[in-house]
Structure 1
Amino acid sequence: MEDSTEPQTLSATMRVSRLDFDIEWPPKHAAAYIIEDPAPIVIDAGDPEKRAEMTIREGLAASDYDLSDVEAVVVTHPHSDHIGQVPLLREAGATVYAPQPVLEQLDRDEDDLADGVREIGRSAGYHGEAIDREVERAQSSLRRNRKLLAPNEAVSFEHGESFTVAGREFEAIHTPGHQVHHASLVIERRGRKLLFSGDALIEPFRPGAINVGLDHGAYEAVDAFHRALDRLEGRDVDRVYPGHGPIFDDNEGVIANTRVGLESLTDATLEAVEAVGPATPREITRHRTGEARHPAQLLDTLGALGTLERRNWIRFEDRDGVRYYSVRNASP
């Protein structure tokens, strides 16, 4: 889909086209972008399904490109709905760029990951076979993502620094919370700044505070998200290209709405603790959401519980590795 609203002064030298991918889980779609230059650059790469390959091929053809014309693909974060077609682009000759911490994360030892999932999973209220399933889910995701975004076949860039791709300069902003090593990307043309926000900033909904998944760092997700918004706030951004939802111009407004969404999550989690505590994070999630159908719902809860604890509004009692949360003014 062409971004037909791109200002004429910019489109005369650079146009951004959008690729929309159908995915099976909420929000049911993901977006990638083509920076249309003589050496085109693709930002993110859809999901791994076969239909996504056709989306890329057809989107490139609509802009008069072949797959082999793509000079580079730049990855914002290593979730499968954003790196799924990296192998297709790499095999066609594109150079792959990704944040250095992402590439290091993909090289993680699977036993170390299992230890983290078991400890944090137990703290959340998983036990027995349920923990084993979460370990297998996490290890399977790591193996899949390592295959899609092969660390030894990518060029790294650092958060907080600028790097050059096909003659274009990008600024990489570290925007954790949705994913711990997420990078939002800024490019400038004729004084206008374009932000490729991935899943760090989306309109009209709040991205999930997934951060590290069920692993060490899960209880830091909401605070990390606020730090990401701090880094995006106050920037003179003219247009934002997100990984989901529509392209938008109101950077500050969407940041404010995202903060409201995070505080609403925190408030709802506190209300759930008040209602059912002392309770495990899984019990709190069920009270907050009803039947929890997606892992992101529990991860949201873990991030909110960590924030509430650091604000001294709640506390937890550790019972053989399981956390039981209650409000500060209640009896344990």
Structure 2
Amino acid sequence: MVDRGYYWNKFSLQWGRRTGAAKPYVVRRDGDLMTQVTDHGGGVHSIKVPIPDNPLGHTLVHVLDTDRGPVLIDTGWDDPEAWDTLEAGLAAVGTEVADVHGVVITHHHPDHHGLSGQVREASGAWIAMHPADTAIVRRTRESRPGTWLTYLAAKLSAVGAPEEHLAPLRAGGGRARALPGSRPALPDREIVPGELLALAGRRLRAIWTPGHTPGHVCLHLEEEHPGNLPGRGRLFSGDHLLPGISPHIGLYEGPDDAAVGDPLGDYLDSLERIGRLGAAEVLPAHQYAFTDAAGRVRELLGHHEERLTGLLGLLAQPLTPWELAERMEWNRPWEQIPHGSRNIAVSEAEAHLRRLVKLGRAEAVPGSEPVTYIAV
């Protein structure tokens, strides 16, 4: 089981150990705005862009110099303070939003893709994303809020959620209100896994790393490390590989999807590919830059195997996914976990159940409704 050093992030469920303090940032002041910028050398900077009301605190937006102008890797949350911080950060590194040539998105979540449309409007920049996540962006833009809430209520009912949890969702299903992040920008370029992106004067190769989202990509800067660290270049890892936390792994499906995936299996396979890459340094989208990617990958693989083994102990008796989530160890008692965060927790429980079933270590109990699972 996960120990008390693991903690809850209310944007997504993060299972991971706090493993050290962030590296110091160069702090610059632009008027009343404090902008935190790091020069990573070799034409790479990061800007600490805040995420409103979130324990993660910030997204690290990376700025990559190219012969055609700066390219952003992710953009941050769609929020006025985040936009002001991004503008001030770009000014601190000697450029501005209007100069941005392109935006490469590691994945579609709003703390990464939120400001992309505003950057494109201000600069004419292109936006690139893996097609699997572009499909989610398109679905989000086209879906009516009530459709999603109705689907979510039905899905939670099927996995054993109690009526008191379902009632607010059913009441909200008839409301014509916009959900946060309901109009994300549609990308205009496709990221092709394994290929170099068309960036003048740079060698940036896309690596498809599904798990956190179906279209998550890491980006390998295939250039000599400016500090001569041993290894093969640098890796922009998005949320796939973080130094002190493990990303939320939940289910991918939407209202119109018939396929049943294995997101945790996708994530573990992707981790192993990244571990073999041999990058000298990892530049993640949260926390801080770090080395020894292979060692961090081993920690995460071990963590998830430990987690799966612990869940098998809970499944000595038949449990619904909701009952399993109730019994899993979080950083606070289940009774104190907010309504929306419980939905995320159940999604994570389902992802782990799917992995156990695929491995032949658990199975659904025939005829159970709502469906229950048991270890085998």
TM-score of the aligned structures, taking structure 1 as reference length: 0.83
- Cα distance in structure 1, aligned partners of 2:274 and 2:151: 30
Identity of aligned residues (%): 22
For residue 205 of structure 1, the aligned residue among 225, 242, 245 is: 245
Cα drift, residue 220 of structure 1: 1.6
Letter in 2 for 1:19: K
- Cα distance in structure 1, aligned partners of 2:172 and 2:240: 27
* Greater relative contact order (CA < 8 Å, ≥ 6 in sequence): 2
Letter in 1 for 2:238: G
For residue 302 of structure 1, the aligned residue among 345, 350, 361 is: 350
Cα drift, residue 24 of structure 1: 2.3
Which has the larger helix fraction?
1
- In structure 2, the CA distance between the partners of 1:172 and 1:119, relative to structure 1 (3 Å rule), is farther
Gaps of 5+ in 2: 1-35, 226-231
Which has the larger strand fraction?
1
Cα drift, residue 163 of structure 1: 2.1
C-alpha distance after superposition, 1:51-83 (max 9, x if no partner): 111110111111111111111111010001111
- In structure 2, the CA distance between the partners of 1:218 and 1:140, relative to structure 1 (3 Å rule), is farther
For residue 45 of structure 1, what is the aligned residue in structure 2? 75
- In structure 2, the CA distance between the partners of 1:105 and 1:219, relative to structure 1 (3 Å rule), is closer
- Cα distance in structure 2, aligned partners of 1:160 and 1:120: 35
Whether 2:44 is the aligned partner of 1:15: answer yes
Cα drift, residue 87 of structure 1: 1.8
Give the match's secondary structure for 1:282.
helix
For residue 102 of structure 1, what is the aligned residue in structure 2? 133
**Alpha-carbon RMSD:** 3.1
- Cα distance in structure 2, aligned partners of 1:234 and 1:63: 33
Equivalences for residues 118-137 of structure 1 within 5 A: 120-126=155-161, 130=166, 133=169
Equivalences for residues 25-44 of structure 1 within 5 A: 25-37=54-66, 39-44=69-74
- Cα distance in structure 1, aligned partners of 2:128 and 2:92: 24
Where in structure 1 do 4 or more consecutive aligned residues deviate above 6 Å?
A: 111-116, 134-137, 139-143
- In structure 2, the CA distance between the partners of 1:40 and 1:130, relative to structure 1 (3 Å rule), is same
Cα drift, residue 121 of structure 1: 2.9
Letter in 1 for 2:78: P
TM-score of the aligned structures, taking structure 2 as reference length: 0.74
Letter in 1 for 2:356: L
For residue 284 of structure 1, what is the aligned residue in structure 2? 324
For residue 283 of structure 2, what is the aligned residue in structure 1? 241
Q: Is the 8 A contact 1:78 1:149 kept in 2?
A: no
- Cα distance in structure 2, aligned partners of 1:314 and 1:182: 28
Letter in 2 for 1:15: V
- In structure 2, the CA distance between the partners of 1:125 and 1:140, relative to structure 1 (3 Å rule), is farther
Give the match's secondary structure for 2:76.
coil
C-alpha distance after superposition, 1:120-156 (max 9, x if no partner): 434322366728828969x9999754622224xx211
For residue 158 of structure 1, what is the aligned residue in structure 2? 192
Paired residues in the alignment total: 317
